[in-house]
Amino acid sequence: MEPRKINIAIDGHSSAGKSTMAKALAKELNFVYVDTGAMYRAATLFCIKEKLIETNEIDSKKVSAAIERMYIGFKYNAKTERNEIHLGGVNVEEEIRSMEVAKKVSLVAAIPAIRHKMVDLQQRMASHGGVVMDGRDIGTVVMPDAEVKFFITAEPRVRAERRLNELKTTQPGTTLADVLQNILERDRLDSNRSVSPLRQAEDAIVLDNSLLTEEEQFQFLLTNVRKVLVTS
């Protein structure tokens, strides 16, 4: 018997393992996984390609006008068995993972026009239920009525080490200091932006996974989801 199609919101800090857990939950429950982080990274890549960012400055007015030409969506890849992000019809799943994009994504995500467009797309994706979505403002803005909400965090250095391990093959020259600085800066920007800042929903279940294995994290989340599925 298929589980009831509830919505699950997973928020938390950068590189805290939100996407990994969201993907695992969606697969276990046969729900749809929506990677909002990839959506904001794709928007950042769009701004870079359109030359709308100079150093750490971005022209929000030009961005607001340009996003009418920005088309972001997910397409299923049978080879990887994943929904992968496309920008203007082109698969950019690998390109959006670069440090160049990572360093700019919080700047782009803070622009009201970008957030409004992303939130509208995300809410449409979740309108029929059965969605696991991770990000910064899912439980507070995108899906405030989600039946289950989690807030995941970990110590900054632990998050940096995990992120560096992901980058070893694609960006071997990246250092731990580079990644840690990027994570701390993203935490600062995400928590202090004026539009939809990163914050914990009042009814979110908090998980600090600094000392947990992926399996321990997954079982914690799954146990809490099943409690809701049983009682609903």
- 11 in helix, strand or coil? strand
CA distance linking residue 4 with residue 102, whole number of Å: 36
Task: List beta partners, residue 33.
Answer: 132
Query: pTM for the full model?
Result: 0.85
Is residue 1 scored above 60 in pLDDT?
A: no
DSSP 140: I
Question: Each residue of 95-122: pLDDT tens digit?
Answer: 999 989 998 998 898 899 999 999 999 9
CA distance linking residue 174 with residue 158, whole number of Å: 16
Q: Are 228 and 9 in contact (CB under 8 A)?
A: no
Question: Each residue of 32-67: pLDDT tens digit?
Answer: 999 998 999 999 999 999 999 887 788 888 999 999
To which H or E segment does residue 86 belong?
strand 82-87
**Domain 7-231 CATH assignment equals 3.40.50.300:** yes
Q: C-alpha dihedral over 12, 13, 15, 17, to 10 degrees?
A: -20
The structural domains of the chain, with segments of one domain joined by +, span: 7-231
Predicted confidence at residue 164, as pLDDT, reads 94
